[in-house]
Amino acid sequence: MDLSQVLALMEAGLDSLIDYIAYHVVTCLIPAFLLAGAMSVFLSRDAIIRYLGLESRKIISFPLAAVSSLGLAVCSCTVIPIAAGLYKRGSSIGPAFIFLWVAPAANILALTYTGAILGVDMAGARIATAFATAFLVGLAMTVIFRNDEASRLKKMRLERVATTSITIGGVKGIVLIVLLVVTLLMPNYLGAVLPSYLNINSGEDKLLIYGYKLLIFAVLFAITMSYALKFIERDHVGVWMHETLWFVRMIFPLLLVGVFVIGVVSKLLPEPWIREWLGGNGLLQTFIACIIGALSYFATLTEAPFVSMLMSLGMGKGPALALLLTGPGMSLPNMLAIIRIFTVRKAVAYILVTIVIATLASFIVGNTIWSL
Instruction: Judge whether 79 and 101 are in contact, CB under 8 Å.
Output: no
Q: What is the pTM of this model?
A: 0.81
Helices (H), the chain: 3-20, 30-42, 45-52, 58-69, 79-89, 93-105, 108-118, 120-144, 146-158, 164-168, 171-190, 206-231, 234-268, 271-278, 283-295, 303-312, 317-329, 332-342, 344-368
CA distances from 351 to 125, 171, 195 (A): 21, 37, 39
The Cα-based distances of 183 to 29, 118, 200 in angstroms read: 11, 29, 25
Kindly report the number of other CB atoms within 10 A of residue 80's CB atom: 31
Low-confidence ranges of the chain (pLDDT < 70): 1, 159-169, 192-193, 196-205, 269-271, 274-275, 300-301, 371-372
| CA distances from residue 151 to 137, 147, 155 in whole angstroms, order as listed | 21, 6, 6
Q: How many independent structural domains does the chain possess?
A: 1
Q: What distance in Å separates the CA atoms of residue 234 and residue 176, rounded to the nearest whole number? A: 14
Contact (CB, 8 A) for 161 and 35: no
Give the 3-state secondary structure of residue 248. helix
**Predicted local confidence at residue 169, as pLDDT:** 44
Distance CA 126, CA 115 (A): 10
**Residue 251, amino acid:** I
For residue 279, list its beta bridge partners: 315
The pLDDT tens digits of the residues spanning 326-340 come to: 989 999 899 999 999
Instruction: Give 24-90 as a DSSP string.
Output: IIIIIIHHHHHHHHHHHHHS-HHHHHHHHSTTS-HHHHHHHHHHHHTT----TTTHHHHHHHHHHHT
**What is the Cα–Cα distance from 307 to 114, expressed in whole angstroms?**
10
Position 192 scores a pLDDT of 66
pLDDT of residue 270: 66
Residue-wise pLDDT for 147-177, tens only, equals: 998 898 888 777 654 444 445 447 899 999 9
The closest of 254, 256, 257 to 341, measured between CA atoms, is 254
Instruction: Specify the pLDDT at position 265.
Output: 76
Q: How confident is the model at residue 168, as a pLDDT?
A: 43
Residue numbers of the domain that contains 24: 3-368
Whole-angstrom Cα Rg for the chain? 21
**Phi, psi torsion values for 129, nearest 5 degrees:** -70, -40
Q: What is the rounded end-to-end Cα distance, in angstroms, of the chain?
A: 41
Burial of 235 by CB count in 10 Å (0-12 exposed, 13-18 middle, 19+ buried)?
Answer: exposed
Contacts of 86 (CB under 8 A, 6+ apart): 39, 48, 52, 95, 96, 99
- Partner residues linked to 280 by β-bridges: 315
| Residue 278, CA distances (Å) to 263, 274, 299, 314 in order | 21, 6, 21, 8
